[in-house]
Structure 1
Amino acid sequence: MDQKKNYREKRLNNFSIAKITAVVNPVSANGKTGRHWPEIAAWLKAEGLDFDYWLTAGPGQATELTRRALQQGSRLVIAVGGDGTANEVINGFFTPEGPVSEAAAVAFIPSGTGNDLSDTLQIPRNYREAIKHLVLSPLRRLDLGRIQYAGHDGNFYSRYFVNVAGLGLDGDTVARVNRTSKALGGFVSFLWGTVVSLLLYRNREMAIEVDGRLIFKGPVTMVAVGNGRYFGGGMCIAPRAVMDDGLLDIVIIHNMSKPDLLVNLPRVYRGSHLSHPRVESLSGRRVVINALGVALLNLDGEQPGRAPIEIELLPRALNLKG
C-alpha cells in the first residue's frame, strides 16, 4: 500500500466502515448535477467510500431523506447540489426535539448555481477535487444559526442555516434569480439579479436588535447575518465571519443611494465594503429584525419568507467532514 493511500484510509477513519448516504439534487445547476452524478459516484467509490444514495424529487425532500438516513443509522450524509440543497440537508439533522444523531456528520460536494457555502469552507468546485478534499479533511464542528421568520402564507416557521441570512435587497435578488433558469451560471445570474433588483428596490424601514440592544431604527438597504462569508454568487458580504467562533457577523447597509450601490458593488465581491461610511459591521449571538412593509428573506440562497425574523447562534452544533 502506498503512503498516499494509507494517509487517506487514516483520514477516513470510522467513516470508511460506517454507513454513508449521499443526498443528491439532480436538478440543481439546471440539471448539471443529475447529468454528472454517475461520474461523481464513480469518483466517490474510487476514493474508498461505500455509500447509498437518494435522488431528491422536489423542494424539501432533501430534509426528509437526510432525517430518514440518520434514523436508519447513517453516520455521514453527503449533500450533492447547491446552497439550497445544503441547507435542506442540514435541516434534516434536526427535529423540534433536537439533533437526530449527535455523532453524525455532513459533507458537501458543491454542484449548484451559487456555491457560496463551498467558497467559505474552501471546498473545491471541481467534483473530483471536492471528493479528495472530503476524504482528506479532518472532522470539525461548525456553528449554526436558527431562524424564526414569517412565511409567505403568514405563518411563522423555524429553520437552521449554516451560511448567511439576509433581509432587504438580497432577499429581492434571490427571489428574482430563483425565478429564472440560472442558465448563465451563478456569477452572471446573481450579478444580473442584483443590478435589476437594485434599480427597482426601495429601502425599507427596519428596527435591528443585537443581543437585546437596539442597534438601529430607520431606512436600510439590506442587512446580512453571516455565519459564513459569501452569498449572491460570490459576494464576500461578511468578510470577518468565522464559522466556528461562536459569533454571528451582522453587516448593515444603511440607506445607500442607487448610484452609490452600483459604484460600490465591486467592493462587495472583494469584501472591502466594510470601510464605507454607510456600512456598519458588528457581531453577536442573537439578532431580531422587524420591518415596515415587506422585507424579503434570503436564507442560504433560498427565499422562504419575510420579516420579522429572530436569529440565534448555536455554537458547534454540526459535525463537518471536509
Structure 2
Amino acid sequence: MSSPFGPMVLICNERSGRGGVGKALPEVRAHLEQRGLEYEIRATEYPGHATELARAALQEGKRFLVAVGGDGTIHEVVNGMLEEDQAIDPTAVLGVIAAGTGSDFIKTFGIPASASHGVAHLDGGESFPIDIGKITYMQDGAEVVRYFPNIAEAGIGADTVARASRLPRWLGPTVYFFAFWLVMRGFKPANVKVDLVDRVHEGRMSNLVVANGQFFGGGMKVAPKAAPTDGLLDIQIHNPRKREAIAIMPRMYKGEHIPHPDIHEAKRIRVSIEADRPLRIEADGEMLGETPATFEVIPDAINLKV
C-alpha cells in the first residue's frame, strides 16, 4: 500500500545529530512497514546533497519527499523543491520526521518530535500549502539566492548560530543560549537601513529577524505572531542594550519578549537591509553569506504533509 501521494522518498543525513538520525532510522522503518507505507531511503553524503537528492527525486516523478532530521535537512530539501521561485512540481508534498538534534520548524505546525509519532503524520492524505521565504544575499562578491521555510537572521543572531556550531553537541537545545552569551560580550550594533516597502528604518541594530515560522534556537518562540500561511513575513528589528538583551533572552522561550520598545515589529511581503559593515546571515540554522540582503515571501510555495 502506498500513500495518496505515492511512495515516499526519505532524505536523511545519518551522521547528523551526533548520529541520532541513523539511530532513529530502524524505528522509522519499523513504523512505516507496520502501516504498510512504501518508501525508499536516500542518504546524504555532503553539505547540499539533500537539495540535489530532492531535485533528482522530483525529476524522476516522485511526489512525496520526507526530510528525516533537523532544520538543516528540511532547509536543504525545501531548496531542492523550488526553482526560480516556483515549485518544481506543484503537486509534490513535503513530509518531516524530526530526528537527531530535533527541529524548530515542526513546532509551528504541531508535528510531533518523536520519530514514531512523526511517521503517523505521514499517513493519510492531509496536506496544505505553506509560504516559503526567499533571501538574496552576497557571498564571495556574488549575489546568491536561497529559500528558507522557517526563520532567517542578520546580525548577532547569525553570529550566535556560527558560534553554536563550534560548541559541544551535548549541550542540546541550550547550545544557542550559551552561544549568545559568548557572542554578546564582543558584539557591536551596526548602523543599518532597513527598507520595509512603505517606510525605511534607519539607525543602530543588533539583529534582524525575518520569520515565516514561530520558533528557533532550540525552542525559543521568537515570532509568536508569525503564520506561514498568511502571505507575509514577520519582521523584528532588535536594538536593546546588552543588559536588556540578556533580560529579554529567557522571555523569548514563551514569546513574551514582544512588544518591547527596543524591538520594532512589522509584517511585510518584502524587506531589505544595508549596513555600515557586512553582517552575517543565517537561515534555519544554516550559515549563508552577508548583507546587503533582501528577504521576500513566496506564498503557498509548497505543500506540507500534516
Matches within 5 A, 1:93-242: 93-96=81-84, 98-113=86-101, 115-135=103-123, 138-151=126-139, 153-185=140-172, 187-214=173-200, 216-242=201-227
Mean alpha-carbon deviation: is it higher for 264-273 or for 96-105?
96-105
Q: CA deviation at 1:169?
A: 1.0
Cα distance in 1 between the residues matched to 2:197 and 2:302:
23
SS state of the match for residue 251, structure 1? strand
Q: For residue 235 of structure 2, what is the aligned residue in structure 1? A: 250
Cα distance in 1 between the residues matched to 2:124 and 2:88:
26
Cα distance in 1 between the residues matched to 2:85 and 2:242:
45
SS state of the match for residue 208, structure 2? strand
1:244-266 CA-to-partner distances (Å, cap 9, x unmatched) read: 01111101112x11111111211
Q: CA deviation at 1:13?
A: 5.7
Whether the 8 Å CA contact 2:132–2:297 is kept in 1: the answer is: yes
Mean alpha-carbon deviation: is it higher for 93-102 or for 24-33?
93-102
Q: Indicate which of 258, 269, 276 corresponds to 1:274.
A: 258
Whether the 8 Å CA contact 1:77–1:105 is kept in 2: the answer is: yes
Matches within 5 A, 1:56-75: 56-75=44-63
Report the TM-score, using the length of structure 1 for normalisation. 0.91
SS state of the match for residue 184, structure 1? helix
State the AA in 1 paired with 2:227: V
Q: For residue 35 of structure 1, what is the aligned residue in structure 2? A: 23
Cα distance in 2 between the residues matched to 1:29 and 1:97:
30
State the AA in 2 paired with 1:73: G
Cα distance in 1 between the residues matched to 2:100 and 2:183:
22
Whether the 8 Å CA contact 2:207–2:238 is kept in 1: the answer is: yes
Q: CA deviation at 1:82?
A: 0.8
Cα distance in 2 between the residues matched to 1:278 and 1:52:
49
1:237-290 CA-to-partner distances (Å, cap 9, x unmatched) read: 111001101111101112x11111111211111101112211121101011111
Q: For residue 74 of structure 2, what is the aligned residue in structure 1? A: 86
SS state of the match for residue 22, structure 1? strand
Whether the 8 Å CA contact 1:174–1:301 is kept in 2: the answer is: yes
Q: For residue 14 of structure 1, what is the aligned residue in structure 2? A: 4
Cα distance in 1 between the residues matched to 2:101 and 2:155:
21
State the AA in 2 paired with 1:52: E
Where do 4+ consecutive residues of structure 1 move more than 4 Å?
none
SS state of the match for residue 205, structure 1? strand
Report the TM-score, using the length of structure 2 for normalisation. 0.95
How many pairs were matched up? 306
> More helix per residue: 1 or 2?
1
Whether the 8 Å CA contact 2:136–2:294 is kept in 1: the answer is: yes
State the AA in 1 paired with 2:38: D
Whether the 8 Å CA contact 1:274–1:280 is kept in 2: the answer is: no
State the AA in 2 paired with 1:133: H
Q: Percent identity?
A: 36
Q: Indicate which of 300, 306, 313 corresponds to 2:284.
A: 300
Q: CA deviation at 1:121?
A: 1.8
Whether the 8 Å CA contact 1:116–1:232 is kept in 2: the answer is: yes
Cα distance in 1 between the residues matched to 2:46 and 2:92:
24
Q: CA deviation at 1:112?
A: 4.0
Cα distance in 1 between the residues matched to 2:169 and 2:190:
27
Q: For residue 315 of structure 1, what is the aligned residue in structure 2? A: 299
1:29-79 CA-to-partner distances (Å, cap 9, x unmatched) read: 111111221221221222221011101011000000000011111110000
- Gaps spanning 5+ residues in structure 2: where? none
Q: For residue 6 of structure 1, what is the aligned residue in structure 2? A: none
Q: CA deviation at 1:205?
A: 1.4
Q: For residue 269 of structure 2, what is the aligned residue in structure 1? A: 285
Whether the 8 Å CA contact 1:113–1:233 is kept in 2: the answer is: no
Cα distance in 2 between the residues matched to 1:310 and 1:122:
29
- Gaps spanning 5+ residues in structure 1: where? 1-8
